[in-house]
Amino acid sequence: MTEFIDKCLDKCLSGKALKRSEIIRLLKIEIGSSEDEYLRKAARKAAEKITGNNGCIWCAVGMDYAPCPMNCKFCSFGERWELIKESRHINKTELLRRVKQYVDGGAAYVVLRTTEFYSLDMLLDYVPDIRASVPGDYAIILNTGELDMMTAQRVADAGVYGVYHALRFREGQDTPFEPVQRIKTMQSVTQTDLNLISLVEPLGNEHTDEEIADLFLNAVSCGAKMSGVMARFPVSGTPYGDTEQVSDEKIAHVIAVLRLSGGTSVRDICVHPVTKEALNSGANVMVVEAGAIPRDAEFSQNEWHGMDIDSARRLLTECGYRVAPPPAKRSRGTKKCPCEGSNLEKFLQPIILHALHRHAGNGYYVYLTIGKYVTYGETVPDKAVTYRYLKSMEKRGLIEKNEGVYSITEQGEECLENWRRTLNDYSNTLKILTKQLEK
Ligand code: SF4
């Protein structure tokens, strides 16, 4: 097994995501065994090489403590559980006070988190106010409802760095959401300049290794730059109120596996709740949160479970990380106005997947073939961009390269199927919008 772990570490450091079968094999290592210890040490080594020992603090402000009609079984806000007696919303003054305190304390990320139907306009209105009142090198993240591609672009244009969104465990059974809808939002986010952050959550003891691997691979194939693990909290009064929380050892074990599984494309691995074991097993991002918290029946006036920004900073430092700002925002180069068709480049991924679905081939074959797709019209695709995409898709496990020839993987086929559905819906929306713009 130690040889296999070494192989996975090498693969990770060479930038490649592990295959589903490899991830499952690592997950199946017995927790607490000497192999587990070896795995966690290897993952910490990977974190050091990939992040340069930069650790980040993710500070979330729960904006609305209010019943949510979606009634996800693990969430204390479900209106059916009747846990919230009096709603409470964070106002601008309180928000700015909290953001300032977090940024002064070294937060890399300031996250505005809401229930499903909070007004996006209101959230976006806060962004310039935050920037004007709180200078500093930090990223603003939204964690809110579903977004289509156009809305995600609006979020990006407002100066937001990224969006948190996840396909959760047993989505569609423990929640009323269609998994496809959740995936579509994740894909919409990465079709813009936004970063996607997507954890494997909320982890309970009944979730299988296969389920863990699948959620993680979904996040990777959607282009998540940060992933990790969040445990499910048994909030009394919710359907999972009587279950046992996953142990810290299990969380650290899963963190170690995910650190090795994402290659270098998932640079940051976040853990919640944090422990030293998890930080010493490859996690480099930890959470501080206050306000409305879906893991608690009460509104948290102070930081949840006493983990404030000073304690977070201390803990990261004790585990060998320097408290760092967020990585530079990814850029898609010089931006054309969307009215000039700048979004068309974004369809390169499904086009490459489709070209390789029809026929495996080398980079030059892909470059020549994709020029025949309709989005290119009279123009030819950019060769450097094509090769960059191929490299990044290979890292994310969507395609693989053998002796110079690319072919689509099983994960890539699934991603292509998601694309078909997403583009179909998008085209229906465009038809309606085109009609409306004619009037
Ligand atoms: S998890 Fe989100 S969508 Fe589900 S009930 Fe809670 S706030 Fe609503």
Q: Where residue 122 sits, what CATH number does that domain have?
A: 3.20.20.70
Q: Same domain for 303 and 417?
A: no
415 is a domain residue: yes
Q: Same domain for 250 and 376?
A: no
Q: Same domain for 223 and 296?
A: yes
> Which residue has the CA at smallest separation from atom 7 of ligand 1?
115
In the chain, what percentage of residues exceed pLDDT 70? 94
329 is a domain residue: no
What is the average per-residue pLDDT within 315-322?
Answer: 97
Amino acid letter for position 79: E
Q: Same domain for 296 and 380?
A: no
Q: Same domain for 234 and 366?
A: no
What is the average per-residue pLDDT within 338-359?
Answer: 72
- Output the CA 188–ligand 1 centroid distance in Å: 20
Determine the Cα–Cα distance for residues 299 and 56; give it in Å rounded to an integer: 25
Q: Determine which of 1-15, 277-291, 386-400, 420-434 has the lowest per-residue pLDDT on average.
A: 420-434
DSSP letters for 150-169: HHHHHHHHTT--EEE--PPT
Segment of 167-176, 328-337, 338-347 carrying the highest mean pLDDT: 167-176
- Output the CA 236–ligand 1 centroid distance in Å: 16
DSSP letters for 180-244: HHHHHHHHHHHTTTPEEE--EEEE-TT--HHHHHHHHHHHHHTT-SEEEEEEPP--TTSTTTTSP
Quote the distance between the C-alpha of residue 385 and its chain's center. Answer: 24
Q: Determine which of 87-96, 176-185, 342-351 has the lowest per-residue pLDDT on average.
A: 342-351
Whether residue 130 is predicted with pLDDT greater than 80 in this model: the reply is yes
pLDDT, position 191: 86
SS3 295: coil
Show the domain range for 375.
338-438
pLDDT (tens digit, 9 = 90+) per residue, 204-250?
999 999 999 999 999 999 999 999 999 999 999 999 999 999 999 99
pLDDT, position 342: 47
Q: Which of 71, 74, 75, 114 has most ligand 1 atoms within 8 Å of CB, for mutation?
A: 75
What is the average per-residue pLDDT within 8-23?
Answer: 94
Quote the distance between the C-alpha of residue 411 and its chain's center. Answer: 17
What is the average per-residue pLDDT within 144-159?
Answer: 93
pLDDT, position 377: 58
Whether residue 37 is predicted with pLDDT greater than 60 in this model: the reply is yes
Q: Where residue 368 sits, what CATH number does that domain have?
A: 1.10.10.10
Q: Same domain for 19 and 111?
A: yes
- Output the CA 70–ligand 1 centroid distance in Å: 6
pLDDT, position 375: 66
> Which residue has the CA at smallest separation from atom 6 of ligand 1?
75
- In terms of Cα–Cα distance, which of 156, 175, 159, 158 is closest to 167? 175
Q: Same domain for 128 and 250?
A: yes
Domain count for the chain: 2
